[in-house]
Structure 1
Amino acid sequence: MTGQPTVGAVVIGRNEGDRLVRCLASATEQADRVVYVDSGSTDGSQQAAKAVGATCVELDQSQPFTAARARNAGFDILQKDPVPVQFVQFIDGDCELQPSWIEAARSFLAETPTAAVACGRRRERFPEASVYNRLIDQEWDTPVGQTRACGGDALMRSKALSAVGGFDPALIAGEEPELCVRLRAAGWSIWRLDEEMTLHDAALTRFAQWWNRNRRAGHAYGEGAAMHGSPPERHCVRETRSALAWGAVFPLLVVTGTLVTSWSLALLLVWPAQVLRLVSRGMDPTRALFITLGKIPEAQGVLGYWWDRFRGRRAKLIEYK
């Protein structure tokens, strides 16, 4: 790594077990320094991190946990080095870096001075384990090139991250796209490379887990639109409207209409029609079905955000594992 821009890695996690061991091994092989930020693990994660030479940070449990807060804590440690790292790789503890990712992403950022973020292809480790794992793997198959946002795994330029104040620690979901809004407003660009980046172990096996994951996404849409929904950004406005229309307004019309006339039950045919429309555009039938059904928990998440805001209450983490 001599002569190349230095790279630090920030790994975050809680009770990830063997998945964390794989994650730390992949990070220490590629990064100049690794910081592990733990959010209250009870499975020996802290000891596993120290065993491979990573700096271990344990978050104060008197404050609410968020991934954004954990990432900021790890980044702050890296910035306190006598010679701070130029790039920082953020990675969740249930992921494993692909062997060539850091080299490819570092070269891209070094050659593209206006780029703040480089991300690549995140794949599910066991897509065949459940329909939910397979859906997540398909969800992450997004176009390469300049984009509007990244996910939790990405290589970021330290200077750009510091300039916009890092992640918003109050956000319980959607913190990466929100950060990217501020980065783009400051003149930086976000890129998705045609490179294998990470393997992810979602371990979603139950319908309730899938439901809560979509509810969490809905919360992120609602809060994102509230923060940056005005023109020209219109952040998460389309997603919020879609969730509310398909997951709240339409079901309400069906229920209230049925109280007046049984013919209103025919409105239920609109849902399978929507599935067929998505399939006709080339989408996998199973994915089309779950995307349509997923609007209901998404709407629940949007409405939950606004209900908490109305009551002046801080939103609690929506966990699905």
Structure 2
Amino acid sequence: MTRIAAVVIGRNEGARLVACLASLEGLVSLGRKVYVDSGSTDGSVDAARTAGAEVVALDTLQPFTAARARNAGLDQLRKGAEPDLVQFLDGDCALDPSWLTAACSFLDENPKVAVVCGRRRERFPTTSVYNRMCDAEWDTPTGEAHACGGDALIRWQALEDVGGYNPDLIAGEEPEMCLRMRRLGWQIWRLDAEMTLHDAAMSKFSQFWKRMQRGGFAAAEGAAMYGRDPERHGVATLRRALLWGAGLPIVILAGLIFVGPIALWGLLAYPAQILRLALRDGGGRFAWEEALFLTIGKFAETTGIFSYHLRRLRGGNVQLIEYK
């Protein structure tokens, strides 16, 4: 029988964490659920213990990262019977009861596959445009992929082969680890199967801004690490963000200085981009909303890119960029 364990990470997820751990009940064949807490103050640790999870509380004197938390979960699993597979979950997600059956069957039939993920859906997509954008973001193509997200079923052997997640990354740790797995000949697949319900709980523009900022930071770090390699990791995202968030504004500003007010016509590129994106996605209300916020989000991504390079110049650790 395939031995499956689970690693859940979280910080102040409250009722979402309780639902997450409950969704694993009876599905983890090895009977081990590890919850790694990153400095919660809402009683999450006690709630996890009550739910029967093994709890690891991270040292609050070191910067928190999701990668560090997941590695701590793996270290905890090494203290007992090692699993064949590990189901990773963020504490704001609940596992679909049919997921592990479908995912294990696929892994059994495909020994070269290291990671499988499925459809992650937002629990409350109509609550805000930001939640709905998350739901659309999760709907990626099925088949062989380059990377997974935070929720995934992963072979223990593949995790051991690459040494787990890179604990220094504050975001983008899953694609980076998947890149290292693919270099060793492993494959990553996304299945056409329901996997998790996610609760982004985003109702404010400031949350959206921070989330996009984190994405820009991750793209800059990924490009710095692997941008010159054949995978060109992070480069496309980096270029798009810098084009709209920095390049065009600089060109317009230079035009104002050297040419005059006529350079302001360059600002029309932004509504033109919104129009292009909205029509590409069908032209409905949500298509227009998403096009608007994705275009605005390039400025947030650019601040994240600059933040990364400023961190490199100054040295030292960087704090996790949280949107909740």
**With structure 2 as the length reference, what TM-score do the two structures score?**
0.95
Q: 1:289 aligns with which of 292, 302, 313?
A: 292
Q: Distance in 2 between matches of 1:194 and 1:15?
A: 31
Q: Distance in 2 between matches of 1:150 and 1:76?
A: 21
Q: Name the count of aligned residue pairs.
A: 317
Q: 1:257 aligns with which of 255, 259, 268?
A: 255
The answer on whether the counterparts of 2:63 and 2:317 sit within 8 Å (CA) in structure 1 is no
Alignment of 1:117-266 (within 5 A): 117-260=115-258, 261-266=260-265
Stretch moving more, 36-45 or 87-96: 36-45
Q: Distance in 2 between matches of 1:264 and 1:146?
A: 45
Q: 1:9 aligns with which of 6, 11, 16?
A: 6
SS in 1 for 2:52: coil
SS in 1 for 2:101: helix
User: How far apart are 1:103 and its partner, in Å?
Assistant: 1.4
**1:109 and 2:107 are equivalent in the alignment:** yes
The answer on whether the counterparts of 2:64 and 2:319 sit within 8 Å (CA) in structure 1 is no
Q: Distance in 1 between matches of 2:10 and 2:144?
A: 29
Stretch moving more, 213-222 or 230-239: 230-239
Q: Distance in 2 between matches of 1:108 and 1:245?
A: 41
User: How far apart are 1:259 and its partner, in Å?
Assistant: 3.5
User: How far apart are 1:233 and its partner, in Å?
Assistant: 1.0
Q: Distance in 2 between matches of 1:104 and 1:192?
A: 12
The answer on whether the counterparts of 1:122 and 1:197 sit within 8 Å (CA) in structure 2 is yes
Q: Distance in 2 between matches of 1:228 and 1:269?
A: 34
In the other structure, the counterpart of 1:18 is 15
Q: Distance in 2 between matches of 1:280 and 1:59?
A: 46
User: How far apart are 1:255 and its partner, in Å?
Assistant: 2.6
SS in 2 for 1:291: helix
User: How far apart are 1:60 and its partner, in Å?
Assistant: 1.0
In the other structure, the counterpart of 1:30 is 27
In the other structure, the counterpart of 2:316 is 313
Q: Distance in 2 between matches of 1:203 and 1:137?
A: 12
Q: Which runs of 5+ in 2 are unaligned?
A: none
Q: Distance in 1 between matches of 2:26 and 2:95?
A: 9
Q: Distance in 2 between matches of 1:43 and 1:215?
A: 26
Question: Which amino acid in 1 is paired with 2:264?
Answer: L
In the other structure, the counterpart of 2:307 is 304
The answer on whether the counterparts of 1:28 and 1:52 sit within 8 Å (CA) in structure 2 is no
User: How far apart are 1:279 and its partner, in Å?
Assistant: 2.6
Q: Distance in 1 between matches of 2:86 and 2:200?
A: 23
Stretch moving more, 15-24 or 71-80: 71-80
Q: Distance in 2 between matches of 1:258 and 1:240?
A: 26
Question: Which amino acid in 2 is paired with 1:119?
Answer: C
The answer on whether the counterparts of 2:63 and 2:318 sit within 8 Å (CA) in structure 1 is no
SS in 2 for 1:178: helix
Question: Which amino acid in 2 is paired with 1:219?
Answer: F
Q: Deviations over 1:237-278 (max 9, x none)?
A: 111011111111111222332344111111011111112222
Q: Distance in 1 between matches of 2:8 and 2:281?
A: 36
SS in 1 for 2:55: strand
- Sequence identity (%): 58
User: How far apart are 1:65 and its partner, in Å?
Assistant: 0.7
Runs of 4+ in 1 over 4 A off after TM superposition: none
Q: Distance in 2 between matches of 1:29 and 1:18?
A: 20
The answer on whether the counterparts of 1:86 and 1:158 sit within 8 Å (CA) in structure 2 is yes
SS in 1 for 2:25: helix
Alignment of 1:52-63 (within 5 A): 52-63=51-62
Question: Which amino acid in 2 is paired with 1:62?
Answer: L
User: How far apart are 1:77 and its partner, in Å?
Assistant: 1.3
Q: Which runs of 5+ in 1 are unaligned?
A: none
Q: Distance in 1 between matches of 2:209 and 2:243?
A: 18
Stretch moving more, 251-260 or 229-238: 251-260
Q: Distance in 1 between matches of 2:134 and 2:261?
A: 38
Stretch moving more, 106-115 or 119-128: 106-115
Q: Deviations over 1:224-245 (max 9, x none)?
A: 0111111311001111011111
Q: Distance in 2 between matches of 1:224 and 1:123?
A: 26
In the other structure, the counterpart of 1:74 is 73
Q: Distance in 1 between matches of 2:56 and 2:140?
A: 33
Q: Deviations over 1:175-215 (max 9, x none)?
A: 00000110100110000000111101111011111001000
User: How far apart are 1:47 and its partner, in Å?
Assistant: 1.2
